[in-house]
Structure 1
Amino acid sequence: MDKDTVLTHILKLKGMSTLLGGELPVSVINNNKYISLLTSEAQVTDRNVDDNLPSLDYAIHAALSGEIKTVILVGPEGSGKTTVLKKLVVDWANGEHLQTFSYVFHFQLRELNSLNGMLSLEKLMLHCHDHIPPESLCLVLQKPEDVLFVFDDLDQCKDSLDPSVHTLCSDPSQVASLSCLVASLLHGSLLKGATFVVATRPTGCLKFLSGTQVEGLGFLKPQREAYFNGFFTDPATANKALTHMERTLGFYDICTSPRFCWTVCSMYKSLMDAGAKLPETLSQLYVDILVHLIQTLSLNEACNRELVLALGKMASHCSLDQHWSCTKEEMDSFGFQRFLTSVGVFFQVDGDRSDQCVFSFHSQLMQEFLLAVSLFLDKATSEGMEKMLEKHKCRAEFLDIFLSALSEPIQRRPLETLLGELNSDRIMDFKCWFRSSSERTLKGWYKDKHHHCFHLLHQAQNESLVKEIITSSVRIGISYGDLSLQDCVALNYVVTCLGVMEQLNLYQTRNLTEEKAERLTPTMSLSHNIILSDSSLSTGAVPHLASALSRGVTKELDLSQTRLGDEKLKIFCAGLRDCKLHVLKLQVCRLTEASCEALVSVLTSGTSQLCVLDMSFNQIGDQGFTKLCKALHSPHCKLQELQLQSCALTAASMKALSAALCSGQSQLRKVNLTQNTIGHSGVEALCKSLQYPLCKLQSLKFFDNELTGVCCPHLMEALMSEHSSLSELDLSANDLGQEGALLLCQALRRPGCLIEKLGLKRCELTQPVFKELGSVLRSGTAQLKSLTVGINEVGDQGVKHLWDAIAHPSCLLEELDVEMTGLTDACVEDLCAAIRTSKTLKSLELRNNSLTDASVPALVQVMQDSHNMQEMNLKYNNFSEEVFDMLNECDKIRY
């Protein structure tokens, strides 16, 4: 096969570069403008990174160097597939690659759609490659293993490639339809042993293809930069254009398309040459493009209007019927008779004879934009906008986006100067639909629909419309987690228009990249409460988060379960300047002692307003916690609450905490030491600090600290002290036993004891302890308002002491938890009597007991009669379904 002839044939210029169609692949190759496109062999986690991503050329060459017989190149429109395939043939003809093949045949199936009737493989090859002598074709067909077929535009085959709907060919001279020939080749019945490289958009035809699939990513940001620098001769102009595109469009996937980059560059150049303003949104870009294209035709207003209506009819036809192209006959039916010589600016035209030409839109986006314009332009149809949108649902992704922009007078004005006024009734119809659908959407729980609502508002660019739709009542339930970069931009626009957000819920954002965080920085700075729990933050995102807090209004930040790690936390702390943060939650963030020093620098900075710090489930250990305690000695530290559940603390660090509490500088009011093995000596150290006049601690939790009754004398001494300010003490899940608990009861009797909330769940309590607790509640000196004594098996007799106490006028109890204490129906009479008599009881926890259906009427009645009681929890008792209706009668009962 004469490679020079093939080279001449493949590099023969066809058509011309157009604004929508991009630069011709042959021109790119001839002028050495080829920029390697990337393939997604490795997972891309940041759109700015292309390290270790191979080029498409490399991936295809590597696949063909082995035993692989079919390589399928998949990519969206304009992603450079055609250029890659032509470059593949050129490299072969130049002797650079794929030299194991003696023959390479290149077919563009889009161009073959104009062929009518049946034809054989031989005739097809001679038709497309007329430079091959017929006598040589026989030699080619005899050695299929030496042949490489390159099929472009496979998705534009008119008929299905499903082998089950064809009678597959085996003879190269056998006539069949084009799709049957292609299916026969790809499924190995025709010219078995040949090798294939095929390119297709990601459509349904993929399920009928087998082989190695190579996905094209196109241009990431570095390739876009190289492309813009190659397009614009002046580096400053190139940088201005690229910077603007990245800010206004760079978050769209379409920006990876080389063809789209060509369109943007061409449009920007035209606008900059004219001294015009560059577009701020995708919709504004397409308004500028359409205005530019119409102006090149130099038609009058009536013709412009007629042409756009015809374009809209074709766009609707292609959208609804999912056709890529239309015949001359179809074009005539749309009203193009007068414009066929002008449509080259809008369409790709394929075919040799005018009556057999096929026409297709260069760009799916332009097709959808023309459809949107025509819907607002057409005055003949009476079909409602909601019905029209429903008809095109899932077929025209950007249709409502474009309609949203065009519904705003300032955005459609450039078009109206060429087309006349759009249909005001249809615009009003769309606006009514938009308002009502937004109201429904924002009341729901589908965050993807919330995000889409923001996209529509972003395109509309109307601040008053944002405030009208995103009211304060709908902001509360909106969740914004797991945003795409495009979502970040739209959300940022909405929040900026609103001016403030009470809560920014980014829960479960699986990949908050640097680029996303940068886009969200203004939004975060305007949010009082930011929830990022169970999210994944890249290292590059952390400084942007810190920057947002430093210049914003955020008072609460939840980074729980973000697996942040020491290094990212250090970056975060170093970036904080003058922030207003009051609450910082860092549960399960894989922090160690190394993080504590960075936190100390924040707490003692002199500008920190941090009041609550949650370090739970981080292995900071004694040394890390001792460092944190040093901050408590600083007059600049405003910390009032420390959550330290399961932080690997022991008695060794409790002395440091005790010293801080007694320093006179510490503002600490609450400390949670749940699930730390601090031991009796640790409790003793803290109890000493509780007796110190300068200690301000009000809440202390020793939940599940492996304590026993040995610690109770120290606790009693602390509670008996006149200097103790402790009002909440939780000793649950410790084996205090009867003797230890009775000592605590003595302290609770002291007239000056301030304990209002006491937790003794699962503490091995006995009936005598419950008797003493009942006596304390009746004493008139106890301040107890909340008592938790569940999971202590004392039965009806034990709990009866509490029912009697609740009925006493001196009892102040508001909340009682007697879960799993062995209660039966026998207690219900006393229970109900206590509720009727009490003037303070509001909440009763009765889960996991042995109450039966017999108790239900009395419990429902007493809850309905009680003015004080707000909630009774009866879950996991022995009720049958027969009493569920009765329990439903009282909305204060949970079961």
Structure 2
Amino acid sequence: MDLSFGPCWTLCLSSCFVFQLLEENICTFVKNELKKFQQVLSTDYPECLESPSDEDEEQRRSSEAFLKITLNFLRRLKQEELAERLHRSKTILRSGVQHELKRNLQQKFECVFEGIAKAGNPKTLLNQIYTELYITEGGATEVSQEHEVRQMETASRNPHRPPTTITCEDIFKRPPDRHEPIRTVLTKGVAGIGKTVLTQKFSLDWAEDKANQDIHFIFPFTFRELNVLKQKKFSLVELIHYFFDEIKEAGIWISEDLQVVFILDGLDECRPPLDFNNTQILTDVTKSTSVDVLLMNLIRGNLLRSARLWITTRPAAANQIPAQCVHRVTEVRGFTDPQKEEYFRKRFTDEEQSNTIISHIKTTRSVHIMCYIPVFCWITANVLEDMLKTTEGGELPKTLTEMYIHFLVVQAKLKNIKYDDGAQTNPFWNKNTRKMIESLGKLAFEQLKKGNLIFYEKDLTECGIDISSASVYSGVFTQVFKEERGLYQDQRFCFIHLSVQEFVAALHTAVDQALQSPNGHLDLFLRFLLGLSLPTNQSLLQDLMEQTGSSSETKKKTVEYIKKKINENLSVEKSINLFHCLNELEDRSLVDQIQLYLNSGILSVMGLSPAQWSALVFMLLSSDKDLDEFDLNKYSPSEEALLRLMPVVKASNKALVSNMSHRSCEGLSSVLRSQSSSLRHLYLSNNHLEDSGLKILSDGLRSPDCKLETLSACFQSERSSEGLSSVIRSQFCSLIHLDLSNNDLKDSGLKILSDGLRSPDCKLETLRFGLFNQKAGVDHSDVMSMFNAALTPPLLLLSGWSPVESDG
């Protein structure tokens, strides 16, 4: 018997061995790859998971193939979400592009400069100097018609019920009571308040793996950079590749399955304004169009709906974004009072010096208010540091005009040291310096009228400044006027801050033009303009403004002209600003006159002129004390008085108002609708409002911006129950306490009111009502029982005679 193996058997044994070896290799490969995939799906995304640099093309292809197989099996197991996470996470890690982007963003944002960066300045790490800014949540995108400084004057009063605050890292975090994710955040704040630094901190924390690691890519843009591209066409993919080379080189496809954040900083600097009402719809990320059309489709969610957007802007430009496109509105309010002190104590290590500066700032309300702006803190610190060194026992600036003049003087001194052989003689203004300031003044004023903060070559040419001269100016007055370079070295210029532009503009021209400004954007300019005429300020500007008179007669004429304007029944806002102008002129005659009337107790019985009413409003609003309660009877219980004093009502926590009419209802409704209103408690019990008055007030009470918590009112008609029921059913109504004890609502009125009380949106905790028919023997127990049984959560019901508390 032949026991030898034939060729087929030998081949079979060989194949078994090979397949056994193949099985072992495949199992090892599968285990290793699956282990990698598990690690990839962890939350920390360690760098070691990226493809090793020595991985050959065959290994890479094998991993690609197995990834597809794994994704297929996950989907068979109905694990769609896990499959998608694995797909996008593995794609990012394999390319190493996320690590490269983080490295570049870290290099870009880790260092900041106070004021303007200068050659030779030591680097300051953002994380070392960053102070958490005061950021509030809520508000609307509607444009504010107030000048930014007036907004700060309103905001400077500590609210009696602080708004919801939010931190930088939680800007996209969904609140517990919200079901939909937050896609677009609009952050408002005045110029220099810290919006840009906030976005830099957000990007840096992500780049340093400190926060928001669920985000795959952050792409920070500024509208200043995007303005340069307004004549070019891009697709969204091309725009990303244009600014972020690492994305282009890696060939990463930005798609819906990636978690991407776009930061669009400085909407107010966008040229031209975005027109959402007349733009083409674009859904293809590879289709080219103009940058403004691209941005509008990104904001609307037509492009990359899964992407998150953070847009920052000055308040005046917030309304460019349609409200329906914004899922969260926040506001940066700069420094709180404790943070101001913290800033100056960090800035001045000498305790005695810092105490002197802080004490001085607190004595001047206009300066103290401006210190809410971090950039203004820096300006103030520069001025006071110089003055404490050079003016032994001298008086420190008390007005904004003085502060800015001294700031310009400090810059002139630096310019003389740098360019004029160290000369620091007075006057500081030689012929060359004067020419520069005159040119900058014209540019500042002309662009201020247009509302422009960023200037390009065309803007400079219109004011007679060629581009080379502008570069020289920015080199000389480095802390006033600066040149910036875009991505491809395009030139653009701006003043360090809007208020500096307004001050330099005031060195150039005139009063009536500023008063004609429709939204008050020339108000601070006017304050500077008039403040420049003071003899003390003129001496500092000697040889710079020879055309401006400095005699006491000139000052007297200016003061009389301003008083005449105040008496012309201007708007309240214009009048208040003119009183600030009188402050800059060191004239308090009107305010002192009103103070005498108040002290004598005869104010309520005399008829005041428009100027005197304005003086009263200004005096009350300028007080450093919180306006806890406004009682109209303390002044004059008349409709005219109420309408004149409506700004004081708006700034008060509580208001007691009588003699209401149709016009005064409109005024109060406007106060209730205002985002900046401090009014929380309104007492109208001594009024008998008609249905029309209630309807007007109801419009204010239903406003998303209304913050009223307590309302006490008396209405003439039983129909008022319908209006009040509608109010308390509104999701925006903030009423907690409602006092209707002076109303005879009757059973029918109470039943109507109960419909509103049962609404899930009703927030009432206390309701007080009167049952006048009870004296006639009418039994209201059915109504009371209905209330007690129907209300959830429990409501404290107070009748005119005895409290009844609901069960539960």
Structure 1 contact 408–460 (Cα < 8 Å) conserved: yes
Q: 1:390 maps to what in 2? A: 516
Structure 1 contact 119–178 (Cα < 8 Å) conserved: yes
Q: 1:115 maps to what in 2? A: 229
Q: 1:278 maps to what in 2? A: 396
Superposition map of 1:437-586 within 5 A: 437-442=562-567, 444=569, 448-462=573-587, 478-479=612-613, 483=617, 487-488=621-622, 534=657
Structure 2 contact 440–504 (Cα < 8 Å) conserved: yes
Q: 2:92 maps to what in 1? A: none
Q: 1:407 aligns with which of 533, 536, 549?
A: 533
Q: 1:125 maps to what in 2? A: 240
Q: 1:814 maps to what in 2? A: none
Structure 1 contact 385–426 (Cα < 8 Å) conserved: no
TM score, norm. by length of structure 2: 0.54
SS in 2 for 1:151: strand
SS in 2 for 1:331: helix
Q: 2:337 aligns with which of 206, 221, 232?
A: 221
Structure 2 contact 137–329 (Cα < 8 Å) conserved: no
Query: Aligned pair 1:178/2:291, yes or no?
Result: yes
Query: Aligned pair 1:323/2:442, yes or no?
Result: no
Specify every segment of 5 or more residues in structure 2 that has no aligned partner in the other structure, as ranges: 1-96, 140-153, 421-428, 598-605, 626-633, 659-681, 686-711, 713-808
Q: Distance in 2 between matches of 1:155 and 1:388?
A: 21
Q: 2:471 maps to what in 1? A: 340
SS in 2 for 1:190: coil
SS in 1 for 2:581: helix
Q: Distance in 2 between matches of 1:304 and 1:490?
A: 40
SS in 2 for 1:479: helix
Residue-by-residue CA offset, 1:345-394 (whole Å, 9 max, x unaligned): 3234333489831112221111111111122xxxxxxxx75356536873
The one-letter amino acid of 1:110's match is R
Structure 2 contact 445–508 (Cα < 8 Å) conserved: no
Structure 2 contact 173–182 (Cα < 8 Å) conserved: no
Q: Distance in 2 between matches of 1:78 and 1:48?
A: 22
What's the CA shift for 1:274? 2.4
Q: 2:410 aligns with which of 292, 296, 302?
A: 292
Query: Aligned pair 1:60/2:60, yes or no?
Result: no
Structure 2 contact 137–331 (Cα < 8 Å) conserved: yes
Q: 2:724 maps to what in 1? A: none
Query: Aligned pair 1:6/2:102, yes or no?
Result: yes
Structure 2 contact 566–575 (Cα < 8 Å) conserved: yes
Q: Distance in 1 between matches of 2:549 and 2:508?
A: 13
Give aligned pairs, total: 509
Query: Aligned pair 1:351/2:496, yes or no?
Result: no
Structure 1 contact 326–358 (Cα < 8 Å) conserved: yes
SS in 1 for 2:613: coil
Q: 1:38 aligns with which of 135, 143, 147?
A: 135
Superposition map of 1:855-874 within 5 A: none
Superposition map of 1:758-773 within 5 A: none
Structure 1 contact 64–71 (Cα < 8 Å) conserved: no
Q: 1:79 maps to what in 2? A: 193
SS in 1 for 2:171: helix
Q: Distance in 2 between matches of 1:217 and 1:291?
A: 29
Query: Aligned pair 1:164/2:274, yes or no?
Result: no
Distance 1:102 1:58, change over 3 A: closer
Residue-by-residue CA offset, 1:199-248 (whole Å, 9 max, x unaligned): 11113453424221112222121221222222221233223222222221
The one-letter amino acid of 2:289's match is A
What's the CA shift for 1:8? 3.9
What's the CA shift for 1:287? 0.9
Q: Distance in 1 between matches of 2:490 and 2:195?
A: 26
The one-letter amino acid of 1:60's match is I
SS in 2 for 1:149: strand
Distance 1:157 1:339, change over 3 A: closer
The one-letter amino acid of 1:162's match is D
Q: Distance in 2 between matches of 1:108 and 1:217?
A: 21
Q: 1:98 maps to what in 2? A: 212
SS in 2 for 1:179: helix
SS in 2 for 1:163: coil
What's the CA shift for 1:81? 0.8
Q: Distance in 2 between matches of 1:201 and 1:193?
A: 26
Distance 1:392 1:474, change over 3 A: same
Q: 2:496 aligns with which of 353, 362, 366?
A: 362
Q: Distance in 2 between matches of 1:408 and 1:361?
A: 25
Q: 1:610 maps to what in 2? A: none
Percent of matched pairs sharing the same residue: 21
Q: 1:152 maps to what in 2? A: 265
What's the CA shift for 1:286? 0.8
Distance 1:296 1:304, change over 3 A: same
Superposition map of 1:866-885 within 5 A: none
Superposition map of 1:769-808 within 5 A: none
Superposition map of 1:356-755 within 5 A: 356-375=490-509, 385-387=511-513, 389-390=515-516, 394-416=520-542, 419=544, 421-424=546-549, 432=557, 434-442=559-567, 444=569, 448-462=573-587, 478-479=612-613, 483=617, 487-488=621-622, 534=657
Q: Distance in 1 between matches of 2:504 and 2:620?
A: 23
Specify every segment of 5 or more residues in structure 1 that has no aligned partner in the other structure, as ranges: 376-383, 492-502, 518-531, 536-559, 564-588, 590-895
Distance 1:69 1:28, change over 3 A: same
SS in 2 for 1:76: coil
Structure 2 contact 136–331 (Cα < 8 Å) conserved: yes
Q: Distance in 2 between matches of 1:272 and 1:408?
A: 22
Structure 2 contact 514–523 (Cα < 8 Å) conserved: no
Structure 2 contact 484–491 (Cα < 8 Å) conserved: yes
What's the CA shift for 1:281? 0.9
Cα RMSD (Å) of the superposition? 4.7
TM score, norm. by length of structure 1: 0.49
SS in 1 for 2:471: coil
Which structure would you say has the larger Rg? 1
Q: 1:29 maps to what in 2? A: 126
SS in 2 for 1:189: coil
